[in-house]
Amino acid sequence: MTESGRRGEGTDAVHAGELRQQEANSITTPIYQTSTFWFKHSQEVIDYNEGRNVREEYGRYGNPTWRSVERKMSDLEGGDESVLFASGMCAATTTFFALLSPGSHLIVTRDCYRRTRQFIDDFLVRFGIEVTVIEPGDTEAFERALRPETAIFFTESPTNPFLRVADIPAVSEIAHANGVTVIIDSTFASPINQRALALGADLVLHSATKYLGGHNDLLAGTVTGNPEIVSTIRSALGILGGVIDSHGAWLLLRGLKTLALRMERHNQNGLAVARYLASHDRVRRVWYPGLASHPDHAVAKEQMRGFGGVVTFEIDTDLAGACRFVDATRLPYQAPSLGGVESLIELPVTMSFWEMPAEQRQRLGITDSLCRLACGVEDPADLIADLEQALEAV
């Protein structure tokens, strides 16, 4: 237990949200594999509709297995309410659809998951949402971008792929003084490394596919925070229908139990690999918030307890040399995503940004030799030795 009397995150990861009151006395929460839930009589239906009977009705609106995940996420993030989705993108898109209207103004940061940006550009703008893009970490730019119709400030923190870190307390104070909702995508941090709600955010979003699930075997998303806002998002989810299946929810529930343990190794590996790469003469630059060279290192030290397993770096070579490097690695799988026990490596130019015109990629800093390594939980010495031999192939 912490000095404040609150249980530690490791304890919450194991115990929070679990269904201890079961007929079978099972240690693990069951998978409720059902599409609907029956009522004993009409009065029970009426009591449910009038809020006197808290239970499930239909599979798109809720499931006891989901509820366990949602309660666990609320405890881990220190929030009042959480809602579970079929994917991180579903969490983001449903949240935007629920909270924005034609004429609303949205402020986002430039460094951002490409599909989130694509949704904003291809859907929200078409539906009459005005969007302003600012540089990550630029609090003054955020303040200048505010308008009377600004509804949401959304940013990842850390961002993808350059791991920029927003000053969450500063932007939250400014946003709330202007009636703006702050949403932080904390996928690259996890609740173990950063608790965005305690720093001032209204909502925290995760692609639970990543660190929360932790085993590269599920797709899921979560949103946690202000109960009134989360209730609005939950209602939209019931209409839009992007719900997770109960088995996927159970896999996430199982993965969360080891979150604190896994994050300790992800943090250890990320920092060790970042320091190694920063000292290598074939590496031009390394982006990792735990390094003093990172532009947001001071902010990251203030609001994060660890810096995660993702390291982005630029090799001193061309595209062909970068491909030789990635192909020469033996431990990481060449694949998108992050946060699993297996290390994953990718060249954003060939993986995530291949369809984007070269000029646009350059504006975003996506060079031909930029590499993103998502460290898993292997031994750090083995990861570094593998990178060492692979860099010889450049």
Q: Which of 75, 185, 202, 368 is catalytic?
A: 185
246 and 295 co-located in one domain: no
Range of the domain at 42: 9-256
Is 210 catalytic? The answer is: yes
How many domains are contained in the chain?
2
Give the CATH number of the domain where residue 23 resides: 3.40.640.10
Q: Select from 213, 230, 256 the last residue of a domain.
A: 256
215 and 311 co-located in one domain: no
Report cis status (omega within 30 of 0) of the bond before 332: no
Q: Which of 12, 32, 113, 288 is catalytic?
A: 113
The partner residues of 232 in beta bridges, in order of sequence, read: none
Q: Round to whole Å and give the CA distance between 340 and 266.
A: 9
86 and 203 co-located in one domain: yes
22 and 163 co-located in one domain: yes
Q: Select from 225, 256, 287 the last residue of a domain.
A: 256
Strands (E), 288-327: 310-315
Q: Which of 210, 234, 257, 262 is catalytic?
A: 210
* Nearest Cα to Cα of residue 130 among 111, 114, 146: 146
Is 40 catalytic? The answer is: no
> In a structure prediction context, what are the per-residue pLDDT tens digits for the chain, which is 394 residues long?
555 567 888 888 787 777 666 666 788 898 999 988 888 999 988 888 888 888 888 889 989 999 999 999 999 999 999 999 999 999 999 999 999 999 999 999 999 998 999 999 999 999 999 999 999 889 999 999 999 999 999 999 999 999 999 999 999 999 999 999 999 999 999 999 999 999 999 999 999 999 999 999 999 999 999 999 999 999 999 999 999 999 999 999 999 999 999 999 999 999 999 999 999 999 999 999 999 999 999 999 999 999 999 999 999 999 999 999 999 999 999 999 999 999 999 999 998 888 788 888 888 889 999 999 999 999 999 999 999 999 999 9
Cβ distance 380 to 268 under 8 Å?
yes
205 and 72 co-located in one domain: yes
The partner residues of 144 in beta bridges, in order of sequence, read: none
Is 60 catalytic? The answer is: yes
227 and 330 co-located in one domain: no
Q: Select from 241, 256, 271 the last residue of a domain.
A: 256
Is 72 catalytic? The answer is: no
227 and 286 co-located in one domain: no
Residue 72 lies in a domain: yes
Residue 300 lies in a domain: yes
238 and 269 co-located in one domain: no
Q: Which of 7, 47, 48, 60 is catalytic?
A: 60
